[in-house]
Amino acid sequence: MAVGDGRLPPLAAVAGVRLGTASAGVRKPGRRDLVVIELAPGSTCAGLFTRNAFCAAPVQIARDHLQRSAPRYWVINTGNANAGTGRPGLDAAREVCAALAGNVGVATEQVLPFSTGVIGEPLPAERIVAALPAAVEALDADGWRLAAEGILTTDTRAKGASRVLRIAGRDIAITGIAKGAGMIRPDMATMLAFVATDAQVPQPQLQTLLEAAAARSFNRITIDGDTSTNDALMLAATGAAEVELDAAALYALGEAVAEVCIELAQALVRDGEGATKFVTVRVEGGADAAECLAVAYAVAESPLVKTALFASDPNWGRILAAVGRAGVAGLDVGRVSLWLDEVLIAEGGARAPGYTEAAGQRVMDREEITIRLHLGRGDSGETLWTTDLSHEYVRINAEYRT
């Protein structure tokens, strides 16, 4: 199940980036499950990682290497998260980094590892190491599409996005790929995303730009409320376009990176495990952003709301109940209004006078729905994207290790 047609858009090559995909048989023989991404010398790199305290070995190693070096390679495996594996897991991640570094002639610290898949099982580093030469041999500037497929786990389709800017007479490309369908509530979910541009951006500015983009995209989605042990969002700037960015151009680049991240983040939600609906939760009229987000997440992560969405049941009482338990101090329920798309359902603490069940049902029968709430407390607003909760979600996660 997934929402929308899911066709992968054209992905622009980014000068200074090559990608290679191979099969290591990490969990399933013959499956493309290993991706190597090469960054040109002189590239800058920014990253955001899971806030889960039980973070995976590759997250720990990638954080360390990012602080110590200018990364030249990212190596990603699926099928095994290398999380909950203790010291042997750290050793396995380092072994993969060292092996790739030896293959391509860079320092081990210039390789960042990423893993996704089953938690708690030893990483079969020897299989990955054996497949690295094939991935390196496959390095290609047009390798984005295969790489997008090679990083998937329970996803049903590849996810990618591109933008091209015209700056100072030169084209600047921004392209990204992502994976994730369950265990998704990024707090920079098993979410991985890799974005690159051929613009020239100093590392501190690149990090600021990435954090701003994440706040509008990956940190505004939830499928099941679970933050993964392995989340990572990476952004590289190769500088190969040889264009110096003034303040206006840097702002335009930031907006384009945010657009790519939003498109990728929404693609994750559309492909959420068992998803049949794409749901926007918009909270307006809050006193501040924090309380708007608290209300939005309470609604978006409520099992009762999500199962009603799956049933296409306009059970609006469940939405109001979620708002009421969101912890907003001094909330006056008499000032709260609720819409499903264009239909006003509740106001003044009760059913709206003009609301009919038939009108609510027309909205709930749609594949894409907006739940909009106005709290009547101020001028702040926040938006999240989420899914319904279906039988298929339960089946996928009940059978994940079988």
Please spell the DSSP secondary structure of 250-275, one letter per residue: HHHHHHHHHHHHHHHHHHHHHT-TT-
Q: Where are the alpha helices (DSSP H) in 24-85?
A: 57-68
Catalytic residue (one of 190, 227, 238, 276) = 190
Task: Report pLDDT for 189.
Answer: 43
Helix and strand totals (H; E) in the chain? 11, 15
Task: Report pLDDT for 159.
Answer: 96
The DSSP symbol for 228 reads P
Q: What residues contact residue 63 under an 8 Å CB cut-off, 6+ apart?
A: 47, 49
Task: Report pLDDT for 399.
Answer: 78
Distance between CA 20 and CA 136 in Å, rounded? 6
Residues 361-387 as b or e (16 or more Cβ within 10 Å = b): eebbeeeebbbbbbbbbeebbbbbbbb
Distance between CA 59 and CA 82 in Å, rounded? 10
Which CATH number does the domain 278-398 belong to among 1.20.59.10, 3.10.20.340, 3.40.50.150, 3.90.190.10? 3.10.20.340
Q: What residues contact residue 356 under an 8 Å CB cut-off, 6+ apart?
A: none
Task: Report pLDDT for 53.
Answer: 86
pTM over 0.85: yes
Model pLDDT for residues 316-358, shown as the tens digit of each residue: 999 999 999 999 999 999 999 999 999 999 999 899 999 999 9
> 26: buried, middle or exposed (CB in 10 Å: 19+, 13-18, 0-12)?
buried
Domain range list for the chain: 17-270, 278-398
Task: Report pLDDT for 184.
Answer: 61
**Which stretches of the chain score pLDDT less than 50?**
189
Task: Report pLDDT for 183.
Answer: 64
- Distance, CA of 44 to chain centre: 21
Q: Are 349 and 257 in contact (CB under 8 A)?
A: no
Determine whether domain 17-270 maps to CATH 1.10.1520.10: no
Residue type at position 28: K
Q: What residues contact residue 10 under an 8 Å CB cut-off, 6+ apart?
A: 162
Task: Report pLDDT for 25.
Answer: 95
Percentages of the chain per state (helix, strand, coil), in multiples of 5: 35, 25, 40
SS3 165: strand
* HSE-up (13 A, CA, CB side) for residue 58: 29
Residue 238: active-site member:
no
